[in-house]
Structure 1
Amino acid sequence: MNDAGRVVAAVGISLCCLTGCWDRTEVNELAIAGLVGSEKDSETQEQVVYYQIINPGAFNPQTGDGSKSPLYTYKVQGPTKGELGLKSADILPRKLFTDHYQSHIVTERFAREGLGSFLNFYERQYNRRSNLFLFVTDSELSEVMMTYTPLERLPGRALRSMIDQTYKSTGRISLKSRVKDLVENMESSALTVLPLISLNGPKVISTTKRLESIQANQSNLFLTGAAVFRKDRMIGKIGLRENGYYNLLKGESESFFETITLDGKVIELLANKISGKRHLSVTNGIPVWNVEIAARLSIVNNDQESKLNWSNLSQITDKFNLQIGETAQKLYKEAIDKKWDLFGLEDKIKYKRGRAWNDLQKQKNVWTQTKLTITVKSTIIDIGEIINPYKGV
């Protein structure tokens, strides 16, 4: 065999060893889910799942696809979770692909019954994504999953962006609102707090005419609070403002927005670069949770008519520090009264070492006796563009 023949033979053998793309699946053969919703049928107790399937043709005008809807919602119902996958093949004309969906929504009723079986099933899937944001809704899930979101055309991505924007702008939602955060607290005394969403408006506009309406608030999804979970079961709700304080006390805030009043005038402040320390101690046989918070403040709005000076700035920071401390104490006391271990104190006490802690650990529910000591230190670093307010005279 000459050299040319040897080369041809070597190339042929190499080609035979290549796997190629024989099992390749084209995008137009997949039903790509962007958002998933889960509940139980109240009458039959069957599992119900809604899949929002992305329509790629709506995002590429060059394809010549005449349909304008960015997504389609399919409802799948079955007696068991495993059977839902089989039934989806009977309904969807393409292979269901859930690897890239953005968010998952469950109903309040489903959450209060307990999500244990849902989480166990989810965690067994090889393609699970534990960093998914998990939402609870107090609206009808069928209507939530039939809602078009303006500006951001994919509701799953819109909800994810809302979490990110709220976290950065007010601190009232934490980034630790994922499936994995609920799973991690399943074997812990610590509670989990997840975002609560509601549908605003009297009815759902389930056609693409919704995307052409200028009224963005109507028939849209909004963050309205937070759902509190003990292990896998929802046990209550808190408002967005209270949830901001919860995140602040836990050290999960990148920013924090608060309004104070001085002499009847409103001052709105945004805290950034928040830092702090948190530790447990024992004082006179009582556990004490010590929280220290330091923040840099920007004045967002100032309705005072007088000129800003050092004395006035000091009054602002003093009032801010006092209000943060008092409101945080109120939230903490309400949680203790409800026996909500929002801050994982039971486990923190359980793993403490020393004679004083050994005596406390023998007492039942000793964590409910824990006192909160909070110290807030703030500095104003940004007062805006003007020092003297315009008076028009």
Structure 2
Amino acid sequence: MRKLWLLILLVALLLCSGCWDKKEINELAIVTTFGIDREPSTGMYTAYYQVINPPALSSRQGGGSKASVYTYRFKEYSLGRFMQKTATMMPRLLFTSHLQCYILSEEVARQGIIDILNYLETTPEWRMNVYLFVTDSPLKDVMNSFTTLEKVPGRHATSLVRILSRGSFTGGVEPIRVKDIVTGMEFQLPTLIPMIHYRGKPADTTERMEQIDVSEQAPSFFADSAVFSKGRMVGHLDSDNKYYYHILNTRYRKFTETVQVGGSYIDVETNNVQVKRKWNRSANHLNIYIHADLRILNNTQNTNLSLQNIQLIEKAFNRVVADKSEKMAALGKRNNWDLLGLQDEGATADTWRQTSVKFSVTSDVTTTGNKSDPYTIEGKEG
């Protein structure tokens, strides 16, 4: 009986097909970043694929090439033709399961990305849960730039996202995944997408990686944000307005603000920011209440931190936050961007711009550092 069972198992093994769908790493072109540009005169798309060079990432690498990624560029008039076009140059099978991010040129973003979203949704090889960026620099330069500490540019971008995400309740500084654009199209509140700036020149050789000063060569992220409404970029917000958009809409709890007291500057960090809204719909009026706990990061005052002085810092912070919030709301009305999401809370397309919004800000200094009073020099002139 035992021999019969053994014979049956051997026959069953012969009938097994094994790992017929396995993929060897040496047969794959592993794409980490995908960029899309478009020529306005011809309508031709330009696609950029950043493909990992595995030997360059090995810690035991000896001589040979040092580029961590290679960038391939293709042109086509239709998005669906790129998969076939890659086979004309890439000697490996295109593999996008490890994709880190998409980068769109500003030209593509302003024309609208509905076609791109539909293409990604209907093509199983692409992913909707990866990060999305917009660049106002030439996409070719961005896709050929080097990054430091993280050798793979796509991983560099996602690492920055994770670091900045620590400051919010929602787990992200901005809703910047592709699927979030799709979700955002259901609302009147615009969606913010981080912008990439690149001030350097594209590298001609990997020796540029040996430079110490990377400020002028590496791309910078998150300084500004592209404003998307209904799947199309309609403008951009600078750093201050971007942060206050998140404070007022997405419960962003940590940011740094600078206030002035008696001619001296004090840097404070907010913690546990709380925002509440109270509508008076009959009067078409909205009160937004903001409260924050403050930690003093830098104090240039030449006076001791008394209770009265702390109250002056709190009042100065309250004024700054209220003023910047009002300016952001006014900017939205001028540009017809509902940056407070008033229409999603009951206001109509005709009345939201006439809604009166008042910001009431309170704060408490809860942390002053290891030494509350600054060092002073007795008898100092001036």
TM-based fold match above 0.5: yes
Task: Tell me how far 1:116 sits from its aligned partner.
Answer: 1.3
Match of 1:382 among 367, 379, 382: 367
Partner of 2:177: 178
User: Tell me, what secondary structure is at the counterpart of 2:37?
Assistant: strand
2:303 aligned with 1:303: no
Partner of 1:196: 195
Partner of 2:96: 98
CA distance in 2, matches of 1:101, 1:28: 17
CA distance in 2, matches of 1:299, 1:238: 27
Task: Tell me how far 1:344 sits from its aligned partner.
Answer: 2.4
Task: Tell me how far 1:143 sits from its aligned partner.
Answer: 0.7
2:77 aligned with 1:70: no
Whether the 8 Å contact between 1:167 and 1:254 is mirrored in structure 2 is no
Partner of 2:49: 51
Task: Tell me how far 1:208 sits from its aligned partner.
Answer: 1.4
CA distance in 2, matches of 1:274, 1:18: 60
Task: Tell me how far 1:342 sits from its aligned partner.
Answer: 1.8
Partner of 1:356: none
CA distance in 2, matches of 1:272, 1:128: 38
Query: 1:333-389: per-residue Cα shift (whole Å, max 9, x none)?
Result: 121122111232223216xxxxxxxxxx5xx51111122222222222211121221
TM-score by length of 1: 0.89
Whether the 8 Å contact between 1:143 and 1:204 is mirrored in structure 2 is yes
Task: Tell me how far 1:255 sits from its aligned partner.
Answer: 0.9
CA distance in 1, matches of 2:266, 2:352: 37
Task: Tell me how far 1:55 sits from its aligned partner.
Answer: 1.0
Whether the 8 Å contact between 2:168 and 2:251 is mirrored in structure 1 is no
Query: 1:233-281: per-residue Cα shift (whole Å, max 9, x none)?
Result: 1111111111011111113413111100001100001112222323533
User: Tell me, what secondary structure is at the counterpart of 2:281?
Assistant: strand
With over 3 angstroms needed to count, the CA separation of the structure-2 counterparts of 1:169 and 1:187, relative to structure 1, is: closer
CA distance in 1, matches of 2:271, 2:14: 60
With over 3 angstroms needed to count, the CA separation of the structure-2 counterparts of 1:120 and 1:387, relative to structure 1, is: same
Whether the 8 Å contact between 1:250 and 1:343 is mirrored in structure 2 is yes
Whether the 8 Å contact between 1:277 and 1:292 is mirrored in structure 2 is yes
Amino acid at match of 2:110: R
Match of 1:10 among 5, 8, 12: 8
Partner of 1:109: 107
Partner of 1:348: 345
Amino acid at match of 1:339: N
Partner of 2:324: 327
Query: 1:188-246: per-residue Cα shift (whole Å, max 9, x none)?
Result: 32211111111023x22242112211011022101231111121211111111110111
CA distance in 1, matches of 2:322, 2:274: 15
Partner of 1:292: 289
CA distance in 1, matches of 2:289, 2:59: 55
CA distance in 2, matches of 1:338, 1:325: 20
With over 3 angstroms needed to count, the CA separation of the structure-2 counterparts of 1:84 and 1:152, relative to structure 1, is: same
Amino acid at match of 2:19: C
Task: Tell me how far 1:48 sits from its aligned partner.
Answer: 1.0
With over 3 angstroms needed to count, the CA separation of the structure-2 counterparts of 1:386 and 1:158, relative to structure 1, is: same
With over 3 angstroms needed to count, the CA separation of the structure-2 counterparts of 1:256 and 1:386, relative to structure 1, is: same
Whether the 8 Å contact between 1:170 and 1:256 is mirrored in structure 2 is no
Amino acid at match of 2:291: A
TM-score by length of 2: 0.92
Amino acid at match of 1:365: D
Partner of 2:260: 261
User: Tell me, what secondary structure is at the counterpart of 1:334?
Assistant: helix
Whether the 8 Å contact between 2:106 and 2:136 is mirrored in structure 1 is yes
Partner of 2:351: 366
With over 3 angstroms needed to count, the CA separation of the structure-2 counterparts of 1:389 and 1:105, relative to structure 1, is: same
User: Tell me, what secondary structure is at the counterpart of 2:144?
Assistant: coil
Amino acid at match of 2:195: L
Task: Tell me how far 1:332 sits from its aligned partner.
Answer: 0.3
Q: CA RMSD in A?
A: 2.1
Partner of 1:87: 85
User: Tell me, what secondary structure is at the counterpart of 1:200?
Assistant: coil
Whether the 8 Å contact between 1:225 and 1:237 is mirrored in structure 2 is yes
CA distance in 2, matches of 1:302, 1:4: 84
CA distance in 2, matches of 1:126, 1:133: 17
Whether the 8 Å contact between 1:170 and 1:257 is mirrored in structure 2 is no
User: Tell me, what secondary structure is at the counterpart of 2:82?
Assistant: helix
CA distance in 2, matches of 1:7, 1:21: 24
Amino acid at match of 1:57: P
Partner of 1:143: 141
CA distance in 2, matches of 1:221, 1:153: 13
Task: Tell me how far 1:20 sits from its aligned partner.
Answer: 2.3
User: Which consecutive unaligned segments of at least 5 residues does structure 2 have?
Assistant: none
Q: Which deviates further from its counterpart, 73-82 or 119-128?
A: 119-128
User: Tell me, what secondary structure is at the counterpart of 2:198?
Assistant: strand
User: Tell me, what secondary structure is at the counterpart of 2:73?
Assistant: strand
Whether the 8 Å contact between 2:190 and 2:228 is mirrored in structure 1 is yes
Partner of 1:280: 279
Q: Which deviates further from its counterpart, 27-36 or 337-346?
A: 337-346
User: Which consecutive unaligned segments of at least 5 residues does structure 1 have?
Assistant: 351-360
